[in-house]
């Protein structure tokens, strides 16, 4: 699983959850979309919004779960926690970790690659809203479970 904690600041920070959800809904309406999105859900609570959806590829049997938790700090500040996990292909869920990662690199495919894309999508929505983004913490790809497994396979 990959995760990070972001702080959003600006007069339109309160619009982030709505704008991000709208972006994902529009992406989910496309029938053939390499970065397909489906099953988008929004949950509201006192001072927080959670957006959860499946994200993957139309061309690969590789889906993962994305959860974006937006918490209100004040009128101009939101804390956003992003979790991305799952995915994998083939009968043993190994093809994506092995063959394509070796050819294309960690950032191009797999859980870490899709995590980077989700963060890019968040930054794009923030740029449209003129909201600043600060990263409080983020899992390091080198320490991710998939990266550790890849090292164990190829260093053995």
CATH code of the domain covering residue 7: 3.30.530.20
Q: Which tokens in the block code for residue 39? A: 């099953």
**pLDDT tens digits, 37-92:** 777 899 999 999 999 988 765 445 556 788 999 999 999 999 999 998 865 544 44
User: Is 16 part of a structural domain of the chain?
Assistant: yes
Q: Which tokens in the block code for residue 154? A: 């190829």
User: Which domain range does residue 24 map to?
Assistant: 2-88+111-139
The stretch 123-149 carries a mean pLDDT of 78
- Dihedral angle, C-alpha 101, 55, 19, 68, nearest 10 °: -90
C-alpha to C-alpha distance for 56 and 61, rounded to whole angstroms: 8
User: Is 134 part of a structural domain of the chain?
Assistant: yes
Kindly report the length of the chain. Answer: 156
Give the confidence band of 31 by pLDDT, cuts at 50, 70, 90.
Answer: very low
The stretch 15-42 carries a mean pLDDT of 76
Whole-model pTM: value is: 0.73
Compute the mean pLDDT over every residue in the chain, rounded to the nearest whole number.
Answer: 76
How confident is the model at residue 107, as a pLDDT? 46
C-alpha to C-alpha distance for 124 and 120, rounded to whole angstroms: 6
How confident is the model at residue 145, as a pLDDT? 52
The stretch 138-147 carries a mean pLDDT of 59
- Report how far apart, in Å, the C-alpha atoms of 25 and of each of 22, 33, 36, 91, 95 are: 5, 13, 10, 31, 29
**pLDDT tens digits, 113-131:** 678 888 999 999 999 999 9
pLDDT at 93 over 50: no
User: Is 44 part of a structural domain of the chain?
Assistant: yes
Choice between 1 and 6, residue whose per-residue pLDDT is larger: 6
User: Is 156 part of a structural domain of the chain?
Assistant: no
Number of domains in the chain: 1
Beta strands in 46-111 (DSSP E): 48-56, 63-74, 77-86
């Amino acid at each position: 699983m990959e995760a990070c904690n972001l702080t959003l600041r600006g007069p339109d920070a309160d619009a982030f959850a709505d704008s991000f959800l709208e972006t994902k809904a529009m992406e989910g309406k496309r029938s053939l979309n390499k970065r397909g999105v489906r099953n988008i859900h929004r949950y509201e609570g006192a001072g927080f919004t959670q957006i959860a959806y499946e994200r993957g590829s139309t061309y690969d049997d590789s889906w993962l779960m994305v959860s974006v938790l937006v918490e209100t700090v004040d009128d101009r500040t939101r804390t956003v926690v992003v979790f991305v996990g799952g995915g994998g292909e083939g009968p043993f869920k190994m093809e994506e970790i092995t063959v394509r990662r070796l050819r294309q690199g960690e950032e191009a495919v797999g859980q870490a690659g899709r995590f980077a894309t989700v963060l890019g999508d968040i930054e794009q929505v923030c740029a449209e809203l003129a909201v600043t983004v600060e990263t409080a913490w983020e899992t390091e790809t080198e320490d991710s479970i998939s990266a550790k497994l890849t090292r164990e396979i190829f260093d053995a």
